[in-house]
Chains A and B, each alone.
Chain A
Amino acid sequence: MTRDIDWKPLLLAPVLALVALPLTGSFSIWLTLTVAGLAMGMIIFIIASGLTLVFGLMDVLNFGHGVFIALGAFVASSVLAMMGDWSGSSSLLLNLMAVFPAMLVAMLVAGAVGLAFERLIVRPVYGQHLKQILITMGGMIIGEELIKVIWGPAQLPLPLPEALRGSIFVMDAAISRYRLLAMVVGLAVFALLAWTLARTKIGLLIRAGVQDREMVEALGYRIGLLFIGVFVAGSALAGLGGTMWGLFQQNLIPQMGAQVNVLIFIVIIIGGLGSTGGALIGALLVGLMNNYVGFLLPVATPFSTIALMVAVLLWRPQGVFPVVNR
């Protein structure tokens, strides 16, 4: 196979990590930050992957993706509350047996709402970018307010189950248990996505559809159904990501959807609209950047991510892995 792999972007995250090493002073601090950054990046990737595929495949810009993030988190918090004895216990097994169903329910609810969202809000404005931006934003506002109606407008604490708290110590560095779990889940999602895209016919259809929707239809495939499926999957993933983000912060606010939304946009701009590999790189970069700068110069954190985005765009204006379009 003489395939040319575009390897430069793959170096970005490692290079960033290496640059940060001398700046943080100590190896153990660096290790803690790096793991935290990678974990955060994984969570962001889970959320961003759905959004970028939806845009790449159907040219739909969903400014309301945040609503699924928040919804997933809040639903999960309710589920965890219901399973109080399991999530409150100190046994790792019981904790996981509470957390995983919470994630699952969050995904199901987010996916279901995604189905309604696509039908009612997105489908009527196919092809009209301006209206899409406006309407999906409106959808998010409505969603956020409805969350306030159901769960109240105040913040909701979401404590981590006992066995997932605290850290394990590797070479003097404190590595948070939960962050490790987040990395594992994130990698699992990435592996599943990568496998689906590379090895299944549906994945093939998605990759082809991102490039040339019309031709896929001319080959006899009903791409409309595919899109609904991808949208629902993307919403479900956002719900999962939201759950994990909420557990990360141990605190939920109804506005969290809008807040994480901004990060997600930065990630998919860096990665290139339509590219899951790009989204992964972007997410890892953003996660690492956030953690390094958050340690070195907290006040600059929001701007550091923007600076990162600007820097990447100056190098590659369409993002790291732009999808070659019709």
Chain B
Amino acid sequence: MSKALLELDGVHTHIGAYHILHGVDLAVPRGQLTMLLGRNGAGKTTTLRTIMGLWRASQGAVRFGGRDIAALRTPQIAELGIAYVPENMGIFSDLTVRENMLLAARGARHARDMDEQRLQWIFQLFPAVQKFWNHPAGKLSGGQKQMLAVSRAIVEPRELLIIDEPSKGLAPAIINNMIDAFGELKARGVTILLVEQNLSFAQRLGDTVAVMDNGRVAHAGRMAEFSEDTQLQQRLLGLAL
């Protein structure tokens, strides 16, 4: 029985005529935070979208908890307990913050059905979410939207969080909050797959790391070892952690 909650096995993805993923092999261990690094255009976002079924893998297997999900549709994949925060955050700007959160809380029919304790925890981590609770989400600043996006992903317990560049546009103080949040989530046994460009963020948080290059995973291993190897970092990312 593998320790990986999520596994990608030789995954190829085509978008129209473009062949973006050329056989991605990725293992996301249960209960750990895996960083997905790589230069722009390496295929990180495409990998996440393929996992979520937004783009169909043309070849290969995507396994969640041992079960092949590559052929499933996006809502079914989400129902299995995977929360996705896309790069553009996917905030519904015409809806209020409260309504955004309510949508993400599949089990709740009304706002009052949402888990009060959980909400309080989220408010502590991201005060802006509480402050603008009844405001249209479109009025939030970029960083605040980012916080809302992550809050949506954690408003209900999920097994796996897939997050695309959460620290983009965030002030350092908020980034610390986010790091705390992910730390707490890990403590609760949540598995996280994170795409990041902010390398110090990556270094502080990641247990495992996978580096993509040209549509493939060029290196995978423990973050601790990767942080030591500046030569490898230079080669794969063009700079050092």
What is the chain A residue whose CB lies nearest that of B102? A204
B100-120 to A contact mask, C-beta < 8 Å, 1/0:
001110100110000000000
Report the bound CA distance from A208 to B98 in whole Å.
13
B136 touches A218 (CB 8 A): no
Interface residues of A in 193-223 (CB under 8 A from B): 201, 204-205, 207-208, 211-212, 214-223
Contact B103 A1 (CB under 8 A): no
CB distance from A27 to the nearest CB of B (A): 40
Complex Cα–Cα for A221 and B138 (A): 22
For B, the interface residue count at a CB cutoff of 8 angstroms equals 27
**Do residues B74 and A217 form an inter-chain contact, with CB atoms below 8 A?**
yes
Residues from chain A with Cβ under 8 Å of B104 in the complex? 219
Shortest CB-to-CB span from A122 to chain B, Å, is 19
Instruction: Judge whether A218 and B90 touch: CB under 8 Å.
Output: yes
Contacts of B79 in A (CB 8 A): 220
Distance in Å from the Cβ of B87 to the closest Cβ of chain A?
A: 12
Whether the pair B109, A222 counts as a contact (CB closer than 8 A) is: no
Q: How far is the CA of A223 from the CA of B95 in the complex (A)?
A: 18
Asked if B135 contacts A3 (CB within 8 A), the reply is yes
Which of A205, A207, A211, A219 has the most CB atoms of chain B within a 10 A radius of its CB?
A219
Given the known interface contacts A3-B136, A216-B103, the answer about A211 and B92 at a Cβ–Cβ threshold of 8 Å is yes
CB distance from B76 to the nearest CB of A (A): 8
Residues of A in contact, count (CB < 8 Å): 23
User: In the complex the two chains form, is B94's CB within 8 Å of A220's CB?
Assistant: no
- Is A323 interfacial (CB-CB < 8 Å)? yes
Q: A324 and B94: CB pair below 8 A? A: yes
Check A26 for interface membership: any CB of B closer than 8 A: no
Question: Which B residues are CB-close (under 8 A) to A218?
Answer: 52, 54, 74, 78, 84, 86, 90
* Contact status A2-B84, CB under 8 Å: no
In the complex, how many angstroms separate the beta carbon of B91 from the nearest chain A beta carbon?
Answer: 8
Once A204-B103, A218-B86, A324-B138 are accepted as A-B contacts, the answer to whether A212 and B78 lie under 8 Å apart by CB is no
Determine whether the beta carbon of A1 is less than 8 Å from that of B134: yes
When C-beta atoms are compared, the residue in chain B nearest to A201 turns out to be: B109
A215, B92: Cβ atoms closer than 8 Å: yes
Interchain CB contact (< 8 A) of A220 among B78, B93, B95 = B78
A212 to B84, CA, bound (A): 14
Specify which of A4, A214, A216, A220 lies most central, judged by the most chain B CB atoms within 10 Å of its CB.
Answer: A220
Verify if B99 is at the interface (C-beta below 8 Å from A): yes
Residue in contact with B78 in the complex, picked from A1, A205, A211, A217, CB distance below 8 Å: A217
Known contacts: A215-B92, A216-B103. The answer to whether A221 contacts B135 by CB under 8 A is no
Q: How far is the CB of B71 from chain A (nearest CB, A)?
A: 15
Chain A residues with CB below 8 A from B75, complex form: 217, 220-223
Query: Which residues on A sit within 8 Å (CB–CB) of B138?
Result: 324
CB contacts (< 8 Å) of B134 on chain A: these are 1, 3
When each residue 292-326 of chain A gets 1 if its CB lies under 8 Å from chain B and 0 otherwise, what string results?
00000000000000000000000000000001100
Summed over the interface, the residue pairs from A and B with CB atoms below 8 Å come to a total of 66
**A204/B99 contact (C-beta < 8 A), A211-B93, A218-B52, A219-B106 known:** yes
**How far, in angstroms, from A2 to B84 measured CA to CA in the complex?**
30
| Residues of chain A within 8 A of B54, CB atoms compared | 214, 217-218
* Closest beta carbon of chain B to A237's beta carbon, Å: 22
Bound-state CA distance A254–B74 (Å) is: 43
A203-253 residues at the B interface, CB under 8 angstroms: 204-205, 207-208, 211-212, 214-223
Please determine whether B95 and A204 come into contact, CB atoms closer than 8 angstroms: yes
In the complex, what residues of A have CB within 8 A of residue B99's CB?
Answer: 204, 208
A211 to B136, CA, bound (A): 13
Bound complex: CA of A214 vs CA of B136, how far in Å? Answer: 20
Residues facing A in B169-192 (CB within 8 A) are none
| Docked-complex contact A2 and B135, CB < 8 angstroms | yes
Of A4, A208, A222, which contacts B103 at CB under 8 A?
A208
Which residues of chain B from 46 to 103 have a CB within 8 Å of any chain A CB? Answer: 52, 54, 73-75, 78-79, 84, 86, 90, 92-95, 99, 102-103
Complex: chain B residue closest to A323, CB-CB: B94
Contact A219 B93, beta carbon cutoff 8 Å: no
| Least CB distance, A147 to chain B, in whole angstroms | 37
B201 CB to nearest A CB, Å:
23
| Set of chain B residues within 8 Å of A3, measured between Cβ atoms | 134-136
Assembled-state Cα–Cα distance A323/B106 (Å) = 24
Which residues in B have their C-beta under 8 angstroms from that of A323? 94
Q: Which residue of B is nearest A214, CB measured?
A: B54
Taking CB atoms, residues of chain B closer than 8 Å to A223 are 75
Alpha-carbon separation in the docked complex, A324 to B106 (Å): 24
B:111-142 near A, CB below 8 Å:
134-136, 138-139
| A220: B residues at CB distance < 8 A | 75, 78-79, 106
Cα of A208 to Cα of B84 in the assembled complex, Å: 16
Picked from B92, B102, B106, B109, the residue with its CB within 8 Å of the CB of A212 is B92
Other than the given A218-B86, A222-B73, 10 more pairs (CB < 8 A) read: A204-B99, A208-B92, A208-B99, A212-B90, A215-B92, A216-B103, A217-B73, A219-B103, A219-B104, A220-B75
6 A-B pairs with C-beta separation under 8 A? A3-B135, A201-B109, A208-B92, A208-B103, A218-B78, A324-B94
List 8 A-B pairs, minimum CB-CB distance, nearest first.
A220-B78, A215-B90, A217-B74, A222-B75, A208-B92, A218-B84, A220-B79, A217-B75
